[in-house]
């Protein structure tokens, strides 16, 4: 599942600002942060979306179980649920809230984006 398709198009300037605000830096080989070596801007956006969406799900009762070497997150629904991927967790949460997955993903992403851009209420 391409997470990027659910968050709409971002301009290059907004992508760059989003990544920099989240601690990414642009190197000669691409974008990197403390967890990832230089990757393309698309891959960096994917990794940051994964991080922001999984963090948002944690606020809804999910737990991060771990990450694969490639950066894919495993989540668990509460303390007794079986581990699952981020896309499956988003589907389960969307079903629980009776809304489309794309809508839930977009709402969670916008909250993260507002936080990055300093517009989130305190």
Q: What is the pLDDT of residue 28?
A: 87
Strands (E) in the chain, as ranges, are 25-27, 30-32, 62-67, 73-77, 84-85
**What does DSSP assign to residue 82?**
P
Q: 24 and 31 in contact (C-beta within 8 Å)?
A: yes
Phi (first) and psi of residue 13, to 5 degrees: -60, -40
Tell me the pLDDT tens digit for each residue of 8-34.
567 888 888 889 999 999 988 899 998
pLDDT band, very low/low/confident/very high, at 75 (cuts 50, 70, 90)? very high
pLDDT band, very low/low/confident/very high, at 65 (cuts 50, 70, 90)? very high
Of all residues in the chain, the percent with pLDDT exceeding 70 is: 86
pTM: 0.81
> Cα(80)–Cα(53) distance, rounded to whole angstroms?
21
């Amino acid at each position: 599942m391409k997470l990027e398709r659910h968050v709409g198009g971002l301009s290059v300037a907004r992508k760059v600002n989003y990544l920099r605000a989240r601690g990414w830096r642009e190197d000669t080989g691409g974008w990197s942060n403390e967890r990832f070596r230089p990757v393309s801007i698309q891959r960096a956006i994917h990794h940051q979306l994964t991080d922001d969406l999984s963090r948002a799900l944690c606020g809804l009762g999910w737990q991060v179980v771990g990450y694969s070497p490639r950066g894919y997150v495993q989540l668990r629904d509460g303390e007794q649920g079986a581990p699952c991927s981020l896309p499956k967790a988003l589907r389960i949460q969307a079903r629980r809230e009776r809304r489309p997955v794309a809508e839930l993903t977009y709402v969670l992403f916008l909250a993260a984006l507002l936080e990055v851009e300093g517009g989130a209420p305190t």
